[in-house]
Amino acid sequence: MKLSRKEFLTLSGLAGTSLLLQGCDPLVRDVKNEQTTGPSITFKKIKLNLAHTWTISRGSADYKEDVIVEYCKDGITGIGEASHMTGAGQNADRTIEELKKLIPIYQEADPFEFYDLPGKANEVIPGVSPVKAAIDIALFDWIGKKLGIPIHRYLGLNPEKHVNTSFSIGYDKPEILKKKVREAEPYKILKVKLTNRNDEQIIKTIRSLTDKPVRVDINEGWTNKEEAIRKIEWLAGQGVNLVEQPMPVSMIEETKWLKERSTLPIIADEAVNTSKDIMSIAEAYDGINIKLMKSGGIMEAYRMAIIASAGKLDIMIGCMIASSVAITAAVQLQPLARWLDLDGSLLISNDPFRGALFNNGHWVMPEGPGIGVEKTSDNKNY
């Protein structure tokens, strides 16, 4: 289902009126509306075209649908995004249905009492859902704009602290892999998805084209620990410097065995969604991949970073394929990360937003208030 502007405004009537929406153009502060009570919470689907067909061990895609959420109050609009893992049953229609359940909670809440909101959202939508991230990011964007400061500043993070991000190359035929490696020229670290089918051939193809450091993501694809450690040793000799989620989440004892022997850091991704998952997996991994779409947004991601440090785990900040809204929201947390894997907006060809700028292998923290994103002026996709 693709919504027209008119349909969008009609659906917006769930939470507010088109008149209020007009008064809530991004970055426009309407003093007359300062006393407005509850927020208007609106949404729209967007279609993001992928620069390349994307293949991992779970399937392939040419485009994806995300949902943009706007939180509008006092003449200020905060913007957020839900980006879906279709392999996990997530999609835009489901996100919209779930959003309708969350709207009453966020309409009643004082936006500055955000600490408890993820817990309240979990009562209505249990488990992992990107809808919680979308509304949380929109709320944080609104708070930053209301206060006139960027989110990294609100969280006490140093914007100058950055690390190079990896750029992902999906599994493909050798000739397509060669093309992708050439196109990845601006990026200093490559991330390669291995599928357990022809891992050595993929790495050898990449090594024949570039000597850049490589990270590998197995997406739970290895199931034999002895074979896994042999592969890791071979990969270490090929300039690979990090292994993400090598074994299934359930094989925690085997992963701990692997970590004790591995010369490369082992990072948890599928094994950790929110802060409550961290301590039980801490002994099996060297780090955790925090993603806003798994955590349910900025508040919980920040909480995860604090708990990870207690478990002596380093932090990777990762993402789904998404527009600059979700990616720039994650860039706001960049100073927390030892490793960065924020390439989602670099993998699409029609980003309707402009946020953090990518320069010389890393993201430059935006200076604008909130998450620091605006719609592009020639926007045809939003």
Residues of this chain that interact with Mg ion (CB under 5 A) are 217, 244, 269
Pick the closer one to Mg ion by CB: 244 or 343. Answer: 244
Task: Print the SS3 string covering the chain.
Answer: CCCCHHHHHHHHCCCCCHHHHHCCCCCCCCHHHCCCCCCEEEEEEEEEEEEEEEEECCEEEEEEEEEEEEEEECCEEEEEEECCCHHHCCCHHHHHHHHHHHHHHHHHCCCCCCCCHHHHHHHHCCCCCHHHHHHHHHHHHHHHHHHCCEHHHHCCCCCCCCCCEEEEECCCCHHHHHHHHHHCCCCCEEEEECCCCCHHHHHHHHHCCCCCCEEEECCCCCCCHHHHHHHHHHHHCCCEEEEECCCCCCCHHHHHHHHHHCCCCEEECCCCCCHHHHHHHHHHCCEEEEEHHHHCCHHHHHHHHHHHHHCCCEEEEECCCCCHHHHHHHHCCHHHCCEECCCHHHHECCCCEECCEEECCEEECCCCCECCCEECCCCCCC
Min dist CB 243 to Mg ion, Å, is 11
Please report how the helices 130-147 and 92-108 are oriented relative to each other, as an axis angle in degrees rounded to 10: 50
CA-CA distance, 307 to 278, in Å (whole number)?
Answer: 7
| Identity of the residue, 92 or 216, whose beta carbon is nearer to Mg ion in the bound complex | 216
Nearest distance in Å: CB 29, Mg ion: 40
Report in angstroms how near the CB of residue 320 gets to Mg ion at its nearest. 10
State in angstroms the smallest separation of the CB of 281 from Mg ion: 14
Q: How far is the CB of 135 from Mg ion (least distance, A)?
A: 24
Nearest distance from residue 81's CB to Mg ion, in Å?
Answer: 19
Nearer residue to Mg ion within complex by CB, 141 or 217: 217
Q: Which residue is nearest to Mg ion (CB)?
A: 269
- Could you tell me the smallest distance in angstroms from the CB atom of residue 289 to Mg ion? 6
81 or 217: CB nearest Mg ion: 217
CA–CA gap between residue 322 and residue 350 (Å, rounded): 11
What is the nearest approach in angstroms of Mg ion to the Cβ of residue 10?
Answer: 38
**Residue closer to Mg ion (CB basis): 282 or 319:** 319
CB closer to Mg ion out of 59 and 156: 59
Closer to Mg ion at the Cβ: 81 or 244? 244
